[in-house]
Amino acid sequence: MANNLTLEDINNLYFWATKLEEGITFGEIESKEDILNLTYIDARNSLPKEVFKLNRLECLKIYVEDLTELPKEIGNLTNLKSLTIECPNLNELPKEIGNLINLGQDYKRYYNDCDQEGGLFIYSSNIKEIPKEIGNLTNLGRLSIDSNNLSELPKEIGNLNNLKYLWIGCPNLNELPKEIGNLNNLKSLTIECPNLNELPKEIGNLNNLKKLEIKCTNLKELPKEIGNLNNLKSLEIKCSNLKELPKEIWNLSEFEVEFDIKNNNNKELLKYIVDSPNNENKDVELKIVIKEKKD
């Protein structure tokens, strides 16, 4: 098998190298400016430098199992509109990621594997911090962060004025920056952080929020400001240590609470909801999901 890949009339490249003993070089790829979408899957530990010369690239997906460092040259891909990084051993993101100011802008979907709406999707267990330069990505509409070792988010995340969908799945995250309340265009927020101790009261400033999912094992109370979310259509709460809800939550039109019947705290919360005088004469659609958690 030849290990030099030459390209002529290719707009989309799906590259998968998991069992090759010798590395494939990309040959003329750096001169092939028409490549707009690239999915790169490699079970080894590197990215070919030619990737960062694809100046017209709009969609990039990187799956490299042993990659520990992302080259700063990724900041050269200023036409990127969608970037997915799924590298379990990646330790950090370069600050140059803040140069990708077109992330999230609309683009034509050339390849089914690329997300049409664009955005930034980070899935890496080892990343311990997100560079503050992420706040430069003011066109970003979608942001997903999944990292086991991430303990804090930069306050600059509050600069993402066009963000509409935010998903945070970080088991070691202890708190959210209050600046998250600046995300005025946010429509959907999912927080799946078992060690999160509290939600900032500024979450009540998210006036355009329509969907809120809270899945935080350590969370013992919700801020009363959550009752200010007048446009909220769906509130899903899965917090096994939550004992009561703020009375302001009855200002909402609809919310769902999931219970584990083996959990004593959940039993207290269920009793609190049923007996609460605040639920009388309220036009609230409350969905109670009772589950028996399997050991």
Which pLDDT value is given to residue 16? 43
> Residue 235: inside a domain, yes or no?
yes
> Residue 1: inside a domain, yes or no?
no
The set of residues, in sequence order, having a beta carbon less than 8 Å from that of 146 and lying 6+ positions away, is: 122, 123, 124, 167, 169, 170
The tens-digit pLDDT sequence of the chain (295 residues) is 444 444 444 444 444 444 333 444 554 554 455 556 666 656 466 777 878 888 888 888 888 888 898 999 999 999 999 999 999 999 999 999 999 999 987 665 554 555 556 899 999 989 999 999 999 999 999 999 999 999 999 999 999 999 999 999 999 999 999 999 999 999 999 999 999 999 999 999 999 999 999 999 898 889 999 989 989 888 888 888 887 788 888 777 766 666 554 555 666 666 666 556 555 545 555 555 545 555 4
Residue 259 pairs in a beta bridge with 290
Which pLDDT value is given to residue 8? 43
Rounded Cα distance between 61 and 118, Å, is 11
Query: CATH number, domain at 195?
Result: 3.80.10.10
Give residue 228's identity as a one-letter amino acid code.
N
> Residue 232: inside a domain, yes or no?
yes
Which pLDDT value is given to residue 53? 83
> Residue 228: inside a domain, yes or no?
yes
Which pLDDT value is given to residue 54? 83
Q: In terms of Cα–Cα distance, which of 234, 127, 213 is closest to 170?
A: 127
Q: What pTM did the predictor assign? A: 0.81
CB of 83 closer than 8 Å to CB of 58? no
> Residue 39: inside a domain, yes or no?
no
Rounded Cα distance between 96 and 104, Å, is 17
Rounded Cα distance between 288 and 274, Å, is 10
> Residue 14: inside a domain, yes or no?
no
Rounded Cα distance between 167 and 85, Å, is 15
> Residue 139: inside a domain, yes or no?
yes
Our count of domains for the chain comes to 1
Residue 56 in 3-state DSSP?
coil
Which pLDDT value is given to residue 39? 67
Give residue 126's identity as a one-letter amino acid code.
N
What is the extent of the structural domain holding 164? 74-92+100-105+118-291
**Token duo for residue 64:** 């490299």
Which pLDDT value is given to residue 239? 84
**Token duo for residue 62:** 């990187």
CB of 21 closer than 8 Å to CB of 44? no
Cα–Cα–Cα angle for 161, 221, 162, rounded to 5 degrees: 5
